[in-house]
Structure 1
Amino acid sequence: MSNKKVLLLALLCGLLTAVALNFYLKSVQEAATNIKTRAVAVASARILERTLITANMVTVKDIPVEYVNSYAVNDVSQVVGSTARAEIEAGEQILQTKIVRRDSNRQSLAYSIPLGMRAISIDINEQTGVGGLLKPGDYVDVLGTVEVEIFSVDPNVNTVRETKTHVILQNVGVLAVGTDIGDPGNVEGEEKDSKSDSAGTVTLAVPAEKTQMVAHIASKGDLYLTLRAPADNSVEDRPSIDSLELLK
């Protein structure tokens, strides 16, 4: 074969190779630009178990659809304010199964307790518990009626025991009535609520520093709950009442 023919054949092979390579690169580029992605909430830092998730712990990342977990959350607003049920590593997709949202169906009373509060249960009856009409999510004031000893400076006068009623807590949330912790997604919710009328206890979200007082008054006297209107979050300075005040 002459040199000219060899050279022509080499040029032809080179041209075909260039065309094939160009076609391949274009197909790769088109495939790369046609990747379908989905916005997913991922942890921007390591989130420990039982941690309240804040905005700086979460970011949104576009992930190829085939790699998105079926339980992944795609809206940051659904994550912020939730509590981590399990540890979440930085960069990990945030899954519905790893968080407990406050507006979701609550499976554990612990996750519905506001920060700084403690859950404490008190005994009630129809008189002290607003006729058994309280529901989880209501807000109440707590009144405590106890007997106190009034000491006299006169040795000839016996010590007098006087009953006083104090407003010990205002605008506290009802977490549970009996064993009903509230479940807005429960189809049988109405039937469940109707059974809570006869519940003998109410669980309240009480500031941590007030729990001892509630427990002490409950052991020495009686506690009464007064139901608030949903829009009423006022706090008033109300003095205690005794028998002399009633006579006035």
Structure 2
Amino acid sequence: MKKLILIALAISLIIGFGVYSFAKTLESRTNVETMPVVVAVEKIPKNTVIEASMITTKPFPKEYIHEYSTGKVDDIIGRITLESIEADEQILSTRLIDSSNNSNNLSFSIPQNYRAISVLTDEVSGVAGYISPGDRVDLVAVILNKATGVESQMVAENLEVAEVGDKGNDGKKLYTAVTVLVPDQDVVKVSYALSEGKYRLVLRSLVDEKIVNPAPYVQ
């Protein structure tokens, strides 16, 4: 009988120790230090501008957080994906590109629904070299109208200048091309006006965003 009691006591001690160890393991797991990390809500395709609805923050154990991840959504919104990002995946800075970074390709800085068009210029049509990236310009062209004859038209207004061509090595501000951002619905109209070869860019004030849309001028 004593043997049975000792065996039962030993088994009880073993079971008790096992339960205690399991409880301590659970406790250690619940006490893991976590930090918020920005992850994708769903798969984000390559070359996508990240919007607030595409991302969220989730707690991750500190030891599993990648060094290039972030816990701030503002660090991610507005940037462009260089490759696809899967749902719940940590979003790493190395897989994004900043559209405002001047070292990037021009294509990354073109807004959605816009196209970049280069306009050949000379001293007159290019405002004597005073156009710089970030300026706003209007495009005016002299076009043959079958009904009214030759007329001067305001083809497009308030176009943002994305780039200007090389200004040369002689110190002058002249350039031979200006690249502007054109709304996609105006690309065909602008292309036609440029093909006529009788156009000029008109520099606007940076604080003037008014669209005048004047009637064509006929002599």
Q: Does 1:177 align with 2:161?
A: no
Residues 93-112 of structure 1: pairs in structure 2 closer than 5 A: 93-112=90-109
Distance in 1, matches of 2:34 and 2:113, equals 40
Distance in 2, matches of 1:79 and 1:25, equals 41
In 2 relative to 1, CA 9–41 (structure 1 residues): closer, same or farther, beyond 3 Å?
same
Whether the 8 Å contact between 1:177 and 1:196 is mirrored in structure 2 is no
Distance in 1, matches of 2:80 and 2:135, equals 22
Q: Does 1:241 align with 2:217?
A: yes
- The answer for unaligned runs of 5 or more in structure 2 is none
Residues 53-202 of structure 1: pairs in structure 2 closer than 5 A: 53-146=50-143, 162=150, 164-178=151-165, 197-202=173-178
Q: Displacement of 1:4 after TM fit?
A: 4.9
Give the % identical residues. Answer: 31
TM-score normalised by length of structure 1: 0.72
TM-score normalised by length of structure 2: 0.80
Whether the 8 Å contact between 2:100 and 2:109 is mirrored in structure 1 is no
Aligned-partner SS, 2:158: strand
* 1:158-183 deviation line (CA, Å, top 9, x unaligned): xxx74x32211111111111269xxx
Distance in 2, matches of 1:236 and 1:170, equals 8
Q: Which amino acid aligns with 2:184?
A: A
Q: Displacement of 1:219 after TM fit?
A: 2.3
Partner residue in 2 for 1:224: 200
Q: Does 1:18 align with 2:16?
A: yes
Aligned-partner SS, 1:18: helix
Q: Displacement of 1:235 after TM fit?
A: 0.8
Alignment: residue pair count:
216
- The answer for unaligned runs of 5 or more in structure 1 is 152-160, 181-194
Q: Displacement of 1:29 after TM fit?
A: 4.1
Q: Which amino acid aligns with 1:174?
A: V
In 2 relative to 1, CA 58–123 (structure 1 residues): closer, same or farther, beyond 3 Å?
same
Q: Displacement of 1:198 after TM fit?
A: 3.5
Partner residue in 2 for 1:42: 39
Which of 205, 212, 216 lines up with 2:181 in the alignment?
A: 205
* Cα RMSD for the two superposed structures: 3.1
Distance in 2, matches of 1:208 and 1:218, equals 16
Aligned-partner SS, 1:70: coil
Distance in 2, matches of 1:65 and 1:222, equals 64
In 2 relative to 1, CA 10–149 (structure 1 residues): closer, same or farther, beyond 3 Å?
closer
Aligned-partner SS, 2:206: coil
Whether the 8 Å contact between 2:128 and 2:174 is mirrored in structure 1 is no
Q: Which amino acid aligns with 2:187?
A: T
Whether the 8 Å contact between 1:45 and 1:57 is mirrored in structure 2 is yes
Q: Which amino acid aligns with 1:92?
A: E
In 2 relative to 1, CA 40–166 (structure 1 residues): closer, same or farther, beyond 3 Å?
same
